[in-house]
Amino acid sequence: MSHINYTHAGILGNADAVKAEVEVKQEGDVVTVSRNSPSTETPGILQMMSPEGFETGDQWNTISWYAPSNLLLEFGVSKPGEPKESGTGYFAIHLLTPETERSTHYHYSASRYNVLTDDETNKTIRDTIYKMRTFAFADQDVPVIEAQQIAMDQAVEELVPTLLSVDTGPLRYQKVLDRLLSEEK
């Protein structure tokens, strides 16, 4: 989840959100990572969705991973110090289906909640969000994913990733997935 601050700076994240408070929870096989950033610069997509264009706000970004490969994301902002319910944001679902060892069908969709802008503005926002999310995925995420796959394919030694504290959630995902694969055998 931390990649949005670097890969999608200005659209979905920014340097302020790097200092987010991270919480990891697990219920059964569902792993949820929450990143809360109180009183930080609001990224472009959330700023556009707030009626007063919150330049600063309390942000949240929560992603729940459902084994083996589905993600539910909540991303939002409220005025600093205001409750989450007074803010706005969107829910997104990411559905991944492996095709081969090196290819995956990746589908995603999002829906806004607690819409605080007027109907005319919403039409513009809807079109802009579509363009922003498509750009973020196709022009920013895909090249990174493809470059990672090439690096993995060309490795001459076993790859041992360096794990940081921010990797606690993905590490838990991996443990759940490894267990499920082991049970399947």
pLDDT at 11: 66
Put residue 140 in one of left, alpha, beta given phi > 0 → left and psi -120 to 50 → alpha. alpha
CA distance 73 to 95: 11
Cα dihedral 27, 3, 56, 127 sign: negative
- Minimal CA–CA distance to 175: which of 23, 100, 68, 71? 68
- Minimal CA–CA distance to 176: which of 83, 66, 85, 91? 66
* Contact (CB, 8 A) for 59 and 17: yes
Segments of the chain scoring below 70 in pLDDT: 1-2, 4-6, 8-11, 14-15, 17, 53
Residue ranges per domain, the chain?
4-184
* Contact (CB, 8 A) for 56 and 69: no
Q: How far is CA 166 from the centre of its chain?
A: 13
CATH number listed for the domain at residues 4-184 = 3.90.380.10
pLDDT at 33: 93
pLDDT at 4: 66
Q: Is the pTM of this model over 0.75?
A: yes
Distances (CA, A) of 152 to 6, 94, 99, 101: 21, 23, 18, 12
Q: Locate 92 and state its tokens.
A: 């997104």
Backbone angles phi, psi at 51, to 5 degrees: -60, -30
Query: Where does 46-146 show beta strands of DSSP type E?
Result: 56-66, 70-78, 88-100, 103-113
Provide the CB-side half-sphere exposure for 96 (13 A, CA).
14
